[in-house]
Amino acid sequence: MNTLESLRFDNVYGGLPGIFHSRHQPELLENQYLIHFNTRVADLLELDPGELSRPDFVSLIGGTSAWPGTDPLAMCYSGHQFGQYVPRLGDGRALLLGQVRTRGNRLWDLQLKGSGRTLYSRQGDGKAVLRSTIREYLCSAAMTGLGIPTTQALALFGSDEHVYREQLETGAMLIRVAPGHLRFGSFEFLFYQNRYDDLKILADFALDHYYPVLKDSREPYLSLFSTIVDLTARLIAQWQSVGFCHGVMNSDNMSIHGITIDYGPFGFMDRYQAGHICNHSDRTGRYAFNRQGPVGLFNLGCLAQAMLPLFDQSPEQAVEKATGELMKYEGIFDDACLKSKRAKLGLHKETDEDGRLYDDLLTVMERDQLDFTNTFRMLCSPGSGRNGMPCSADLTDWLTRYRKRLEIEETNGRDRRRAMERVNPRYVLRNWMAEIAIRKARDEMDYSEIDKLVGLLARPFDEQPDFQVYASPPPDWAARLSVSCSS
């Protein structure tokens, strides 16, 4: 295991030309202190958790003093925000400390979030508030537990500093860990600047360090794009399978690694609504739950546009190749969704009616205002529909169809239930759960709820009898919660 000093930093991104980034030092937070440290993420970095006991741990890992081997920089990118192109965005409140290379030659980005102004902060202060930082810290842990690709968080820091958003709030900082932070918008920025040579440098960087197996393909840049299409389709299908809404699927919030990135106004649905909008700022419903699949395709179209100069010398042929890859998206997405639908219903054999059976259940759930997570979990139980699930006439009819469909399955009921319990979580990070953790931390400096939820969400498919309250219907006050782009 590594100490902080022995981590093998290999800051390959910092070697790229200056157009790609700007160097900054983290800004101090007032009386910064550690709130939580995720030992599971430390294991990814091969970092000894015993380093927590060091007297200089907070100052080193929190960016308030020089961490040997780091090379802090803010990454530059642009992107389509709510469908409109914004020429330059970049890390306005984040700094890439560097990349750590593990013994298995795995490369991990370490990024501070909430570390102060950068060249790309525009009018912002570059800081983060405790509320949003706790939400990201918890949700990255929740997604990891669900097996959904995501950025992760190594450490969460609080401070005595006050940051103004809609009101004065406590400032905080996060250390984010990811295989990389290249976004669709990283390519868009160079394309719209007509910097095609730099665009090639960026694509070569991605191939060299993230997708080396593609370098020997006949058309490596097209293979890179094709891989991103595939990963993005499968990621969003996973979101759909657990009722997760990203909330702000701008192209600058889409990763070339096919991971969930930038947790802001996210939400796991309580009562199922096909058009659920989790982001209070999304007044048109652009990023509603049932539009996440199509938005993924839109964002990939933006990436395809940016990568066109890499595909072929002929613009017409480049467009034809990009279009061919984009046309695969819907098939990959639909197939991945259908696979998850069958798994959630415990269907091993395949019939043409399976997708409709699942979709008809969603229709009933919306009509009867049933909880998304709890409904599917209850289907895992013997005598589905008799264990706390309110049975309307429509639901009774659907359950009859479902039981009839199960008759053609060759697996026994016990094995089927176990398989269903491995894909239908008992626990997800509901907004009210995060809110309780936030209120305790903010009002009482009590961080025990954060620790409790990190442990709970690491095993979301297990029953965990001591924590059944977190699987209960949301309390009445939760209906008044709303999240926006400042969350």
Kindly list the catalytic residues: 252
Q: Measured between alpha carbons, how far is residue 401 from residues 1, 360, 404, 405, 439 in Å?
A: 54, 10, 5, 6, 45
Rg (CA), the chain: 23
CA distance 266 to 275: 14
Tally of CB atoms within 10 A around 349: 12
Distance (Å, rounded) from C-alpha 272 to C-alpha 419?
23
